[in-house]
Structure 1
Amino acid sequence: MTTSSSYYCALLKLCSEARNQSQVKKLHCHFIKTLSDPETFLLNNLISTYSKLGNVEYARRVFDQVPHPNLFSWNNILSAYSKRGHLSEMQWLFDRMPIQDAVSWNSFVSGYARYGSLGESVEVYKMMLKNAPVNLNRITFSTMLILSSNQKSIDLGRQIHAQIVKFGFQSYVFVGCPLVDMYSTTRLIYDATQVFDEMPEKNVVMYNTMITGLLRRGMVEDARMLFQVMKERDSVSWTTMITGLLQNGLCREAIQIFRDMRSEGLDMDQFTFGSVLTACGGLLALEEGKQIHAYIIRTDHEHNVFVGSALVDMYCKCRSIKSAESVFMTMTSKNVVSWTAMLVGYGQNGYSEEAIRTFCNMQRCGIEPDDFTLGSVISSCANLASLEEGAQFHARAVVSGLISFITVSNALITLFGKCGSIEDSRRMFNDMDNRDEVSWTALVSGYAQFGEAKETIDLFETMLAQGLKPDGVTFIGVLSACSRAGLVEKGHWYFQSMIKEHRITPLPDHYSCMIDLISRAGRLEEAKAFINKMPFHPDAIGWATLLSSCRFYGNMEIGKWAAETLLELEPQNPASYILLSSIYAAKGQWDGVAQLRRGMRDKGARKEPGCSWIKYKNKVHIFSADDQSSPFLNQIYFELKKLNCLMVEEGYVPDMSSVLHDVEESVKIKMLNHHSEKLAIAFGLIFIPAGLPIRVFKNLRVCGDCHNATKFISKITRREILVRDSARFHVFKEGTCSCGDFW
């Protein structure tokens, strides 16, 4: 090799390490101009450099210019095609090689293992076996074992293991590590342990592989013991333990291992910090997270995009949204993971509008969303019940092809359900090629919100028949559907099935559903007995649910018991005052109503003002009771007056029990006529084109009078009116409501 060739090879190495392809091309031009007969060694280095930089086309051009290619030349270009998945070119070259050695065969089998089918890879491997043991080496076996792991093919893995023993490679650590990994990946942890135990020499990589395998199978103590007996533990060993403990739900232990690692003075990388920050987020351990953040700054890792994304996620999970924003804004580089962490954080903390805005900003920065990002922003649209914006993201999912991802389809099922388009939810569900438990649960919950008990239960039973496992959220949908349909015995059966058959521990929400189920059917004494047998006291929702049923059935005794308990639990919760006031008002006990109002003032409890809203031409129009702020005020009140006359002719009688004030009857009627949902419906009748449903959303439960009036309005106007209150959807059509007057 001449001095000039040596010099040029050194320059090529520097350019390769710097990933500077333009400089390599300049050197290439310089070779052509200055070297009339470049040495094969130099051209081989140029092929290798282009290959490392991913430019297979230029690598092939150089190969074609080599006057007398040697085996190294052939192997270089073969490796380039193999690494990039150009299988047909790889095959063509391999067939024309004057001679093949172990390197050639390994490049050949690696290409098919990475990018071909399992069958093609096995066929190439069989060809190698015909020439064994000449062309077989540890790289061959390692490649095929990795393929077995990726494909979860235990039969192939066992065959390779037998051949490893046959050809005497069983003592090689380089082969032992992927063999242990193959067995643990395919859930044969005891086979993995046997291979590990029989290895004559074990290095730190072998220990790390075995620990990972043990942690993958819920075997934490075995992994911990193996970790303790390791003579040499590197940063990967410690990070493996942290990650494994995290994956097994042992977040507190993961943080402690991180502390021990830190006290050992070991270097930490993005994976270490990413795992321990995830553990902090899982525990809502904000203070520990802040301490780790400070350590990240001290060790100069804060500019790593992976670490920055993990910090954003941790702060969001700990509900410290301002801290998350601060980290996000100071990140020097952001990728789709960073943007998604911030977007999801907004959504999970109730800032759905900010989540949508973040998605739009991400697009302006040229970052393409993945399926998780798009699914998350669609979920934010669902939380806002914003069908128009959700439909835009639906269109984007179709155009980009992300609609094929289950995360996106599941989010769309939920979106349509929460926006009152249950038919679209069902259509989306039916169009999916693959469905998981989340898909079924989203549709079950959607039907339950509409009070469609039969559809909910039928869907749930079909889900079970297909061998899918419901979770706690699925059962909330089923129990609430039973409640709204008055199916008390069936609800009891499902509740017991959830505990005994599906091994799901009931949460407060499940107990609230059961309280609602029993008390809504008028079985208030039974509801009281159920509460007294519960393993813990109901939360505020449970007591408010019972109190609501007491108001409906006029049960003063149990109502007072529920109200007093709720007041002890949450003294400033206005629900107990309002609901108990309704019971007093219905019985004409206005002194009791006045006393409750004084109690509200003394305790500083404030009733949430009722409001309703409707969207028209991308603008949300909000109404409060007796609203005087709308620019369309005269048109709305004129429409209501006209409707009221027509309703009375049809037999409508105002429900005075919905008014909690001791005033003249005429004043009560006026107050009822100007409830917020009626104003929103009138607005919809004026501006929403005929043939389209009117969609109204309300922050509180719809009152009895508004519910009755809306039935009359739907019949008179022949319009479909959809009202989503704080509890469920009501679809009014032709004088009836989907809830069957049971809500």
Structure 2
Amino acid sequence: MPTVKLFRNSHLPFLFKPKQTPATFEDPIKLLKKSADTKNLRLGKAIHAHLIISNQTPESLDIFHTNSLINLYSKCDQISSAHHLFDSMPHRNVVSWSTLMAGYLHKGCAFEVLGLFKTMVSVENLSPNEYVFATVVSSCSDSGRVEEGKQCHGYVLKAGLQCHQYVKNALVQMYSSCSEMEGAMRVLNTVPGYDIFSCNSVLNGLLEHGHVGEAMEILGMMVGECMSWDSVTYVTIFGLCAQLKDLRLGLQVHSRMMKTDIECDVFLSSAIIDMYGKCGKVWNAVKIFDGLQTRNIVSWTAVTAAYFQNGYFEEALGVLSKMELEDVRPNEYSFAVLLNSCAGLSALRHGDLLHARVEKSGFKYHVIVGNALINMYSKCGNIQAANEVFMDMTHRDSVTWNAMISGFSHHGLGKEALDVFHDMLAAGACPNHITFVGVLLACAHMGLVQEGFYYLNQLMKQFGIEPEVEHHTCVVGLLSRSGQLDEAERYMRTTAVKWDIVAWRTLLNACHVHRSYGLGKRVAEVLLQMDPNDMGTYILLSNMYAKARRWDGVVNIRKLTRDRNIKKEPGVSWIEIRNTTHIFSSDDNTHPESSQIHEKVRELLIKIKPLGYVPDIAAVLHDVEDEQKEDYLSYHSEKLAIAYGLMKTPSEAHIRVIKNLRICDDCHVAVKLISKVTNRVIIVRDTNRFHQFQDGRCSCADYW
């Protein structure tokens, strides 16, 4: 029996006037319902006290008043008091059981709900009604107990209550939330009469589990049935458009919504922003955002993500200062998008500052933030910091493992990548197709041909993963790196894969490295048939002709690119010094400190010549005198950026340079030796990979 504080009798006549006729005084049951609905526990206890006084003992309360009291205490978070009243009842009906079960469901106690249901049907031998079934099935949904949910479904069918709206909705929600989409669709298709709640549940479940085709079928049915959509429907369907990147459908849905009187709250507007962002219409997303009267962290994160997804990394980072002006604090999702934007820009300093804010804000151990930190540090060239974040994470998902494996692989640290992969398997984590791309890249960096084929043909099959073109491309790189170019070509000719430009360019790059000009010409012809305007192919082919001193070939390639109006992207390198980015082009004289930088380059080249540096004039794609070729090589953009970094950073600091093209052979040799004479770690990120130069060696082992 709950402890009830008794009020003075003078307070009670206002609520109850027992001497009046029933038609003239306020019904206690109505007052108890009002107290429960408003969670007014004080008033409810006063009514309870009056009922006890009026009926002499608690046990003498009739079943209707007791059920109302159970409802009151359940809704006021006094479930133990509700259960005590339930136990004290001499007689209980279905409403008594249903009310207490609903209380436990509200409390999140699924096990107690199922226990009460079992006692009700097996001990009390009572027949559940639609409300009991809806409550029990909902408890299975909340706790992910699909087997118990299926048993309840069997009871529902026996009771003939499957057509009741409450029960049908609960069943659809239960199957959807438990990833049993076939069950959800079966209920939806076999039970006549749809409602928007059921359709929303199924749509959400289908999207969460990747069943996009089935979601489109439900959408078509909803349109055909002329159903009235609510805001949840629109949020879900905008999510479907975003997942499909279907701008046309998104525009149609947006137009339909605009013709209704549905209030476009921050959650619905955020879904619209997300849809436009994922469909490549970033400025549509920004326009929606700018028109919002009320913004919350969800809408701020949505517009930041729209910028990021469309490559507007600087604009994404700029959102943070606007958030601060409106006193909006980033959450874990905001930080993840911002950190990934830093990765896109290779903005290490900005990433470091965000990392510090993450620590202060308490989001350090959120998996999504940890993953973004690993990605940011890996792509900004600080693989050691990425590994420190990885080792410090208390929880990891597949993205975490993949990010670290991929990070090590792209930095040429194949052994470390494979070590992480084996740790992943030991931890019981399940690899996916992204995992094996990183693993095969690691094998390629280490020349592990036999191991690579084991991972491709046996281990991937063991995990039920079908190799895709990316995995086969890694195998081409693996064979090429080990010098087996003919075998790589044979693999491409005989494997039933729809090869893309990346795969053929991988083989062409190997022909350039290994100076296999005959094969390189054949591969280039294939590439130019696939894309006659692919500048990368022309550059590699021209480089091969130049190395072979086939200047007629170089001239022909240049004429071909001119005739086809194909322009080469100018090579630039950039370095960040004290929060300022300095950009250099080859033989650049525009920098304010240009003369000092050129002098520094000359000084470095003089120092490395005794170590064996000889300018690789074959890398110069011009038929000029050798002395002039040396001048061309001396002031390539990466050399200028590195020289400036050496001038402006402390002696123990790492030098980090980004280049928009592939680093040339001469610069690669020179930077290895510069790292030795300066005792510096120099990290260069080009279009292919990271090169970490240290003590005269490069992490790529001279293959890239």
- The verdict on a shared fold, with TM-score over 0.5 as the criterion, is yes
Q: Could you tell which deviates more after superposition, 293-302 or 180-189? A: 180-189
2:500 maps to 1:539: yes
2:128 maps to 1:171: yes
The CA distance in 1 between the partners of 2:15 and 2:263, in whole Å, is: 46
Number of the residue aligned with 1:181: 138
Name the SS for the 1:614 alignment partner.
strand
The CA distance in 1 between the partners of 2:256 and 2:601, in whole Å, is: 64
2:426 maps to 1:465: yes
Task: Report the alpha carbon displacement of residue 230 of structure 1 after superposing the two structures with TM.
Answer: 2.9
The CA distance in 1 between the partners of 2:533 and 2:109, in whole Å, is: 58
Task: Report the alpha carbon displacement of residue 250 of structure 1 after superposing the two structures with TM.
Answer: 3.3
Distance 1:601 1:398, change over 3 A: same
Task: Report the alpha carbon displacement of residue 674 of structure 1 after superposing the two structures with TM.
Answer: 0.6
The CA distance in 1 between the partners of 2:456 and 2:82, in whole Å, is: 55
2:665 maps to 1:704: yes
The CA distance in 2 between the partners of 1:319 and 1:591, in whole Å, is: 44
Distance 1:70 1:393, change over 3 A: same
Distance 1:734 1:574, change over 3 A: same
1:608 to 569, 574, 579: 569
Instruction: Tell me the amino acid that sits aligned with residue 171 of structure 1.
Output: P
Number of the residue aligned with 2:154: 194
| C-alpha distance after superposition, 1:88-138 (max 9, x if no partner) | xxxxxx9xxxxx95555555566669xxxxxxx7x7787566435658531
Number of the residue aligned with 1:160: 116
Name the SS for the 2:146 alignment partner.
coil
Check the 8 A contact 2:70/2:86 in 1, yes or no: no
Check the 8 A contact 1:169/1:175 in 2, yes or no: no
Task: Report the alpha carbon displacement of residue 680 of structure 1 after superposing the two structures with TM.
Answer: 0.2
Number of the residue aligned with 1:139: 99
Check the 8 A contact 1:301/1:307 in 2, yes or no: no
Gaps of at least 5 residues in structure 1 are 1-34, 76-93, 95-99, 114-120
Task: Report the alpha carbon displacement of residue 272 of structure 1 after superposing the two structures with TM.
Answer: 0.5
2:311 maps to 1:334: no
Distance 1:159 1:49, change over 3 A: closer
Number of the residue aligned with 1:242: 203
Number of the residue aligned with 2:491: 530
Instruction: Tell me the amino acid that sits aligned with residue 642 of structure 2.
Output: I
| Superposed CA RMSD | 3.1
Name the SS for the 1:137 alignment partner.
helix
The CA distance in 2 between the partners of 1:38 and 1:667, in whole Å, is: 109
Distance 1:604 1:138, change over 3 A: same
Number of the residue aligned with 2:21: none
Task: Report the alpha carbon displacement of residue 618 of structure 1 after superposing the two structures with TM.
Answer: 1.0
Check the 8 A contact 1:623/1:680 in 2, yes or no: yes
Name the SS for the 1:403 alignment partner.
coil
Instruction: Tell me the amino acid that sits aligned with residue 258 of structure 2.
Output: I
Task: Report the alpha carbon displacement of residue 497 of structure 1 after superposing the two structures with TM.
Answer: 3.4
Number of the residue aligned with 1:118: none
Aligned residues between the structures: 665
The CA distance in 2 between the partners of 1:384 and 1:178, in whole Å, is: 51
- Aligned pairs for 1:389-400 within 5 A: 389-400=350-361
Q: Could you tell which deviates more after superposition, 545-554 or 366-375? A: 366-375
The CA distance in 2 between the partners of 1:656 and 1:170, in whole Å, is: 91
- Aligned pairs for 1:141-290 within 5 A: 141-145=101-105, 150=108, 153=111, 156=112, 158-165=114-121, 166-183=123-140, 185-188=144-147, 189-202=149-162, 203-217=164-178, 219-290=180-251
Check the 8 A contact 1:242/1:254 in 2, yes or no: yes
Name the SS for the 2:406 alignment partner.
helix
The CA distance in 1 between the partners of 2:494 and 2:50, in whole Å, is: 80
Check the 8 A contact 2:682/2:692 in 1, yes or no: yes
| C-alpha distance after superposition, 1:226-267 (max 9, x if no partner) | 323433322212323333333343334434433432443432
Number of the residue aligned with 1:27: none
The CA distance in 2 between the partners of 1:553 and 1:198, in whole Å, is: 74
Task: Report the alpha carbon displacement of residue 571 of structure 1 after superposing the two structures with TM.
Answer: 0.9
- Aligned pairs for 1:603-682 within 5 A: 603-682=564-643
Instruction: Tell me the amino acid that sits aligned with residue 557 of structure 1.
Output: G
Number of the residue aligned with 1:429: 390
Gaps of at least 5 residues in structure 2 are 1-9, 17-25, 53-57, 59-64
Number of the residue aligned with 1:738: 699
Q: Could you tell which deviates more after superposition, 360-369 or 563-572? A: 360-369
Check the 8 A contact 1:183/1:191 in 2, yes or no: no
The CA distance in 1 between the partners of 2:441 and 2:656, in whole Å, is: 23
Check the 8 A contact 1:567/1:573 in 2, yes or no: yes
Higher relative contact order (CA 8 A, sep 6+): 2
Check the 8 A contact 1:531/1:537 in 2, yes or no: no
1:314 to 262, 265, 275: 275
Distance 1:49 1:521, change over 3 A: same
Percent identical residues: 34
The CA distance in 2 between the partners of 1:151 and 1:457, in whole Å, is: 44
- Aligned pairs for 1:487-526 within 5 A: 487-497=448-458, 499-526=460-487
